[in-house]
Amino acid sequence: MTGTHWDPAAPPSQAGRTVVVTGGNAGIGYFTSEQLARAGARGVLASRSRERADAAAAAIRTQVPDADIGFVQLDLTSLASVARAAARIRELGPVHALVNNAGLVISPPRRRVTEDGIELLVGGNFFGHFALTAQVFDALAPDGRVVGLGSMSTRMVRLDQRDLLSVRRYGPFRAYALSKHLVHGFAFELDRRLRAAGDTRRSLLAHPGFAVTALAAQRPGVTEQAAWRRIAERVLMPIAGQGKDAGAWPTVRAVTDPDAESGTFFGPDRVLKGAPVETAPVRSSSSPEFGAQLWALAERLTNVRFDL
């Protein structure tokens, strides 16, 4: 059991450790990268846009002048791009944490697919990360961690194992929530397989609660918003929500807490906001039966074997 006392402003030193954060150029991913850089980690921003990653790296260096920040180009909706990114990450040497943070939040009004023919939300939010993790796994240090970004949306939309790709019925929020059920299922199945193999690496999960940009510390080039949206978030969200900088705390704890066991799920202590504490997932997407089904499906749709 992981301890409940944790100071988000003072995580343990990460000096000498390399952490790859997908989508590390924006939102929760940016603040995860900044906080880990402050703790001394060598950060790698894996994202589609070099320009946006450069802006994020510059913003991090305004806060942490000696930050070591790299870039790997990655488009999670393209399995070819994922393979190229994985090859580049393997060249970096031992990776101590792979944070599978990137994801589509604003769903298209109608069903769309990735270039590989997979429904867009589950393709980008889960299947791309599955393929990346499988192809990077051998580069993880013996004490390395894989951290998935979960969501409370799994409590709002029931898992439909017969329609994970939204073929029979598509709804924007439903597709998003299904993608997060898959993220959860993978994290717990990876934990089970690591334990069964006696592997010392760890699989963890974190969710940010209800986190918005306007309530976070502002970073030029990273947190810009339309004026109306910024005002609306500042006026309407403080009671229920928190800034994306605080939303990054559960992920940072999952990466850095030396006592965090594989299989731990961190989230805010007040459900939607607050300090990061251990929380519980919904039963359906954390079940061994779903995990085994999901693993087989992921290998088939990505054509990537993940033997563990």
- Please identify every residue annotated as catalytic: 176
Q: How far is CA 18 from CA 6, 69, 224, in A?
A: 22, 10, 28
CA-to-CA distance for 86 and 304, rounded, in angstroms?
A: 12
CA-to-CA distance for 278 and 206, rounded, in angstroms?
A: 9
CA-to-CA distance for 250 and 267, rounded, in angstroms?
A: 5
Q: Which parts of the chain fold into alpha helices (H)?
A: 27-38, 50-63, 79-90, 120-122, 128-136, 172-197, 227-236, 244-247, 249-256, 288-302
Tokens 């334990």 locate to 195
Query: Cβ contacts of residue 224 below 8 Å, gap of 6+?
Result: none
CA-to-CA distance for 14 and 41, rounded, in angstroms?
A: 5
CA-to-CA distance for 130 and 135, rounded, in angstroms?
A: 9
Q: Identify which of 45, 39, 283 has the alpha carbon closest to the alpha carbon of residue 185.
A: 283
The answer to whether the beta carbons of residues 290 and 284 sit under 8 Å apart is yes
Backbone phi, then psi, for 4, in 5-degree steps? -90, -20
